[in-house]
Structure 1
Amino acid sequence: MNRQTVRGAIDDETRCGHYHGPTDIIALKCFCCREYFPCHACHEEQTGTPFTPWPKGYEQEKAVLCGSCKQELTISEYQNSGSRCPACGAGFNPGCRLHAHLYFSEA
């Protein structure tokens, strides 16, 4: 089983103090430091710098971690997942789409 370190997580399913609902179970890898964080605010608190979104062209990079099964997903797999882990079926928070621009560049 994959065991990635998630900086700022408050439980084993990658929730944090900012996002800790039942479906807040993903962590995102920052482009600049290549480390996983539950959210952009955790990255800023832990590193003192803003989260750097993944530029276009990196859609096949493993940059999302399912907090339920610990499967690393490519950006494309996550964006096309329908808010469910393609490996274990766990539901992801569909509201995360509202913050996608913080993690994945749209330009």
Structure 2
Amino acid sequence: MKIQVLGSTVDNETRCTHYHSEKDIIAIKFYCCKEYYPCYQCHLEHAKHSIDVWPKSEFHQKAILCGKCKKELTINEYRESNANCPSCLSNFNPRCQLHSHLYFEE
């Protein structure tokens, strides 16, 4: 089953108009709507509601999509991945950690 990524995507590897470097290849399932978006800005532009962050008690849920191999990762797997997909070994943008508080309870 193909996972739909909403927002301002620019390619089939989940890059968007806001973040489109070679390493910007993840999409995040937002806790508030359970929909995948490439970034918080896409969510703000396209969803009709505010962002709710994932609570720590839910970090075992699959909520990260690798844009290269389409593998869904749990939040824990993603946070422990050292910015590399554990499935296909593609590099994720390590600077995404700067926005972690917008997606996940700290």
CA-atom RMSD, angstroms?
Answer: 0.9
TM-score, L = length of structure 1: 0.94
Q: How does 1:54-69 map to 2 (within 5 A)?
A: 54-69=54-69
**Distance in 2 (alpha carbons) for counterparts of 1:99 and 1:71:** 21
Could you tell me how far 1:3 is from its partner in structure 2?
1.6
TM-score scaled to structure 2, two decimals? Answer: 0.95
The equivalent of 2:42 in structure 1 is 42
Task: Give unmatched runs, 5+ long, in structure 2.
Answer: none
> What fraction of aligned residue pairs are identical, expressed as a percent?
52
Q: Say which SS state the counterpart of residue 92 (structure 1) adopts.
A: coil
Runs of 4+ in 1 over 6 A off after TM superposition: none
Q: Hey, what's the Cα distance between the residues in 1 that align with 2:70 and 2:52?
A: 22
Post-superposition offset of 1:53: 1.2
Q: What residue ranges of structure 1 are gaps of 5+ in the alignment? A: none
- 1:28-60 Cα offsets, whole Å, 9 max, x none, are 001011000000010111113332210111111
